[in-house]
Structure formats: C-alpha cells, structure tokens
Amino acid sequence: MGKVLNRKGRLVPMSDTNLLLTITIVVFFAMYLAAMLFIGRGFLKIQTLFNILNENAALIILSCGMSIVMITGGIDISVGKLTALICMSAAVNLDYHNGSVLTAILLSLAIGIAFGVVQGYLVAYLNIQPFIVTLAGMFFAKGMTTIVNSTQFNVQNEAFLALKNTRVYIPFLGSVNKLGKFVPAYVEIGVIVAIVTVILLFILLRWTRLGRSFYAVGGNSQSANMLGINVRRTRFAAHLLCGLLAGIGGFVYFLHVGSGAPSHATGAEMNAIASSIIGGTMLTGGVGNIVGTFFGVLSLSTIKNIVTLLGLDDAWWTNITVAVMICIFLVVQSIVLLRKRSRS
C-alpha cells in the first residue's frame, strides 16, 4: 500500500499529498456506493448528486482558498463571516442602492480582495500569527454585517432573481419521474463557477511557479528562502488569493440563498477547514491538493445527507456524525503517515 509506479516502472512510495488524496477519493466513492446500495431511494437519482453540488458550490470555493492558505502553513478563519458580510453588502447594494448584478459582483470581489490584502499584509510583512489576524478579521466581518444591515431580507431585484433561477441542464442525464416523464438533471450557475475555480486552481498549484512556491513555503520556509523564493510575497499571495476566493464564494453563496442575513454561512470556516482536512491538506503546511478538497466537501455533505435519510432527524445527530467522521479521518491519516515515516 502507498506505492506507485514511477516513470521508470519502479515501485516508489507515494508522496504524502497523493496518498491522502487517494484515501479521500476512495472513501467518498465507497460511501456513496454504500448509500446507493443500502439506502437507495434518493441516492439512486442522479439529481441528488447535483443537489449536493448546488448546495455546496460556495463551500467548495471557500475550501479551495482555505486549502491554499493551509498549504502555505497558515490559516484563515474569517471566510465564514466574510461570506455573510458579502451577502449582506450585495443584497443592500441591489435592493437599497439601485445596484445592478454587475455592481454586486464587483462589490463582493472588492470586499474579498480588501480582506485578503489587509490580512495578507499583516501576516506576511508584519509577521503576526495568521490565527490572530484572521480572528480579528472574523470579528470585524461579523460586526460589520450587522452595521450594514441588522435584519434578514430577501432580494427583490429582477435581474438578480433571473440569474439565481437560471438552471444549467446536463445533457443525457436525468431520471424518470412517477408519471413516466423524463426530468433532466440540472445544476445552478454557482456549480459551474466552482468547478472552473477548482480546475484553474489545480493548474495553478501543479504547474505554475507560484503554485509550487506555496508548497515550498509551507513545507519549510527557511529552505524556500534559500531557494530564492520570496517567502513574504508568497504568503501575501496566498492570503490575497484566499480573500479573492472568499469574494467569489460569497457571491456564489448569495446567488444560492438570494438573501442577506447576519446568520448566513455560520460555521462555514470550520466546514471549510474540515473539508480541507478530509481532502488531505495538513495544517502544518506543504501537503494538500485542490481535488482532494473538492472531494472533501462532497464527502462531508454526503455523510450529512445519509444521516438525514436514515431518519436520524434530531439536529444533534448530524453534528455528532460529522465529528466522528473527521475523527476517523484524522486518526487514519495520522496512522498512515506515522507508519510511513517509521518505515522510511
């Protein structure tokens, strides 16, 4: 286990990143297959999978940003409250200030980038611990949301609602309903954005200089420095990227819920961290993969769906199951890595 064929046809140990990624993907498919076999019902419909995507498009984007920061060895716990702030600002812009969809998008991105720049500067150039900086960012976003507007309201802007209700139908996929009519499967716009983001970031991390330096800085910042990588600029770039992704993710979340409320995206930062971990990103830095994060989000919400479908409706069961799942993942990961270390 844990060996792959290299280009010369020899068996070599897998890198940590690939090993953890493989575990995640296998677990996700095993879980989904088990759900199809033993629960059946909803899981047999292809739309269930797409609904999981629809509901988690924003979380996928947020988790990607989180993974990048985690790969460089930092953390960003402000993204959840930042999403709430972006939703509220965009909603107020659309309904109270005669904004258009374009201004709402620009506003979302601007808020995200602003947070990224400030947090990145404080972390990278002033050497303040990322946890404290983004904790302050979280507090700030939380307070600002209620200062912008303290109550929940649904957006009435027509252009926005048209965009929100746009469905992208998947060709050849769908299911036959009770009346014998074929219902095509669909996804929302946010899912397209999320998947494009995942692909772009995968390319960035794998084949660009910036992406490789994220891993180098996270793995060992001193040796990265000796290799001529600008450590500060790389850290800054990671936080900037995370902020930008929070901006995109915030707007996608807004597009999904169509309202502004201080309670939006509560706990999203912890879900994003959990997804990244399930996807094989390690908080110590240098190890991680965007595809893993993508499957991490899917695994997390699949387990939630399974718990609901099993009839364990009481709200506490979901949380306890998710916690047990994170626990199992962590223990498996740590055992695998420990065994690998001791063998080498």
Partner 1 sequence: MTAPGNVAGVQKLTGLFRKQIFIPIAALLVLIIFNLIADPSFFEITYAQNSAGEPVLSGYLITILDNASELAILAIGMTLVTAASGGQDISVGAAIAISGSVVLRVLCGDNPRPEEMQASILTAFLISCLVSMLFGAFNGTLVAYFNIQPMIATLILYTAGRSIAAWINNNRLPIISDPAFGYFGTFMPGIPVPTPIFIAIICMIITALVLKFTTLGLYTQAVGINPNSAKLNGINPSLIKFITYVIMGLCVAVAGFIKVTRFSTINYSVVALDIEMDAILAVALGGNALSGGKFSMASSILGAYVIQFLTTTLFKFNVSSSALPAYKAVVVIVLVVLSAPTVREKAGKVWRSIRSAKAGKEAA
- Piece of the chain touching partner 1 by CB under 8 A; list 43-51, 94-102, 186-194, 329-337: 329-337
Interatomic CA distance for residues 343 and 243, integer angstroms = 40
Tokens of 170: 């998947």
Provide, rounded to whole angstroms, the least separation between the CB of residue 146 and partner 1.
4
CB 145 → partner 1: shortest distance, Å?
8
Q: Does 124 bind partner 1 (CB under 8 A)?
A: no
Query: Quick check: 310 binds partner 1 (CB under 8 A)?
Result: no
- With CB under 8 A as the contact rule, the residue among 6, 127, 342, 344 that binds partner 1 is 127
**Contact between 215 and 85 (Cβ < 8 Å):** no
Q: Is 38 in the site for partner 1 (CB under 8 A)?
A: no
- Does 265 bind partner 1 (CB under 8 A)? Our answer is no
Write each residue from 59 to 88 as x if it is in contact with partner 1 (CB under 8 A), else as -, in one continuous string: ----------------x-------------
- When binding is defined by CB under 8 A, the residue of 284, 308, 310, 339 that contacts partner 1 is 284
If you ran DSSP here, which 8-state letter would residue 42 be given? G
CB of 7 to partner 1, least distance (A): 32
Length of the chain: 344
Instruction: Write the Ramachandran bin of 164: left for phi over 0, alpha for psi from -120 to 50, otherwise beta.
Output: alpha
Among 274, 291, 298, 306, binds partner 1 (CB under 8 A): 274
- CA neighbor of 295 nearest in space, from 45, 6, 60: 60
Q: Given the DSSP bridges, would you call strands 167-176 and 182-188 parallel, antiparallel or unpaired? A: antiparallel
Q: Is residue 143 within the footprint of partner 1 (CB under 8 A)?
A: yes
CA separation for the pair 148, 295 (Å, rounded)? 35
From 38-46, 146-154, 205-213, 217-225, span contacting partner 1 (CB under 8 A): 146-154
Rounded to an integer, what distance in angstroms lies between the CA atom of residue 333 and that of residue 24?
A: 10
Distance CA 161, CA 258 (A): 8
Q: At 309, is the secondary structure helix, strand, or coil? A: helix
- Contact predicate 218/16, CB 8 Å: no
Q: Using an 8 Å Cβ cutoff, are 192 and 256 in contact?
A: no
Stretches 102-110, 156-164, 165-173, 268-276: which one binds partner 1 (CB under 8 A)? Answer: 268-276
* 308 near partner 1, rule: CB under 8 A: no
H/E stretch holding 3 reads: strand 3-5
Under the criterion CB under 8 A, does residue 278 sit at the interface with partner 1?
no
Residue 179 lies near partner 1 (rule: CB under 8 A) = no
Alpha carbon distance 235, 215 (integer Å): 11
Phi-psi region of 265 (alpha: psi -120 to 50; beta: other; left: phi over 0): left
What burial letters (b/e) apply to 19-30, b meaning 16+ CB within 10 Å?
A: bbbbbbbebbee
Binding window for partner 1 (CB under 8 A); candidates: 24-32, 61-69, 302-310, 324-332 = 324-332
Q: CB of residue 303 vs partner 1: minimum separation in angstroms?
A: 12
Count of residues binding partner 1 (CB under 8 A)?
47
Burial class (CB in 10 A: 0-12, 13-18, 19+), 248: buried
- Residue range at the interface with partner 1 (CB under 8 A); choices 35-43, 184-192, 219-227, 319-327: 319-327
- Our CB check for partner 1 shows the closer of 200 and 338 to be 338
Kindly indicate which of the ranges 13-21, 32-40, 219-227, 321-329 contains the residues binding partner 1, using the contact rule CB under 8 A: 321-329
Minimum distance, C-beta of residue 99 to partner 1, in the bound complex (Å): 23
Tell me which stretch binds partner 1 (CB under 8 A): 37-45, 127-135, 189-197, 205-213.
127-135
Q: Give contact residues for partner 1 (rule: CB under 8 A).
A: 75, 122, 125-129, 131-133, 135-140, 142-144, 146-147, 150, 262, 270, 273-274, 277, 282-284, 314-320, 322-324, 326-327, 330-331, 334-335, 338
